[in-house]
Amino acid sequence: MVDITHKVTTLREATAEAIVKTSSQATIDAIKNNEVPKGNVFEMAKAAGLFGVKKTPDLLPDCHPLPIEYTGIDYEIDGLDITISMTVKTIYKTGVEVEAMHGASVVALTMYDMLKPIDKNVEIGIIRLKSKKGGKSSYKINSEGLTADVVVCSDTISKGKGEDRAGEAIIEKLKSLGVPSQKSIIPDEAEEIIKKVENTTADLLIFTGGTGVGPRDVTPQTLEPLLDIKLKGVEEQMRSYGQNRMPYAMFSRSIAGIKDGKLILALPGSTKGAAESMDAIFPHVLHAFKVIEGKRHD
């Protein structure tokens, strides 16, 4: 199965459609009048569709088990055709398109099975995904024109006694988003951190390191007084995301805020902590630039 542990949880919704084609008005009348020998077609098919949605990961090998928070099934009769509309919702890391399509398929098959004794020419027409939202396509972020400075805060690395991996992990993530960046390394000194804030010309300034509770971890208390606005929700998201993956994330004092129209972040110095913090808030945090420009939230 595809690894989705790095993804963030969002509200996901998908609507699928299937069409059952009957061959006579008599079949439609039998359905409407509840005269089909095998029972109430709409109610039986709806129950089967609910089971179909829930059983999707049991039948499709690469489909992730996920919590189904809502399933809605509607029917529309148009002439001799019955259109099935299946809507599925979840709050999870991956979408429910397959669940919706599988559920619609099961509804159609159930109707076919119930109608074939009275209509030898009944058939299933198109089965398709009608709409979806909640994933990447719903939260498109335009990073065009943005630049970033990545600053590694470490006494050890600045002295050449260690190798930087956290900064490289951040740069790799930015690269995947189309944001060019440059990296510098400084010791854990407040004066050096302030200079970086004052001298950066980039839109995005990301510090990594110095966010713990050690005696030399001075990044948060140095940055906080410089910020025009603190983005507490961004900070909470990084800690919550990390805490769901390892218990020591609660000690992180990651920082997020805006200074002179620039987005400033302070992430953990560990490679995993930095990478997970980037996964937790990117690319969605780049929406801040749209808001800074005075544009409304979508």
- What angle do the packed helices 271-281 and 166-176 form, to 10 degrees? 30
Residue 295 confidence class, pLDDT cut points 50, 70, 90 = low
Residues 134-145 have pLDDT tens digits of 877 777 788 899
Which pair of tokens denotes residue 172? 């790799």
pTM of the shown model = 0.80
Considering the four listed CATH numbers 3.50.50.60, 3.65.10.10, 3.80.30.10, 3.30.70.640, the one that applies to the domain covering 10-137 is: 3.30.70.640
Residues 234-254 have pLDDT tens digits of 999 999 999 999 999 999 999
Residues 219-233 have pLDDT tens digits of 999 999 999 999 999
Return left, alpha or beta for 79; rule: phi > 0 is left, psi -120 to 50 is alpha, else beta.
left
Domain borders along the chain are: 10-137, 148-293
Residue 298 confidence class, pLDDT cut points 50, 70, 90 = low
Tell me which residue of 234, 222, 19 sits closest to 107, measured CA to CA: 19
Considering the four listed CATH numbers 3.40.980.10, 3.20.20.70, 3.90.480.20, 3.30.980.10, the one that applies to the domain covering 148-293 is: 3.40.980.10
Residue 45 confidence class, pLDDT cut points 50, 70, 90 = very high
Mean pLDDT of 63-74: 96
Task: Indicate which residues carry an active-site annotation.
Answer: 113
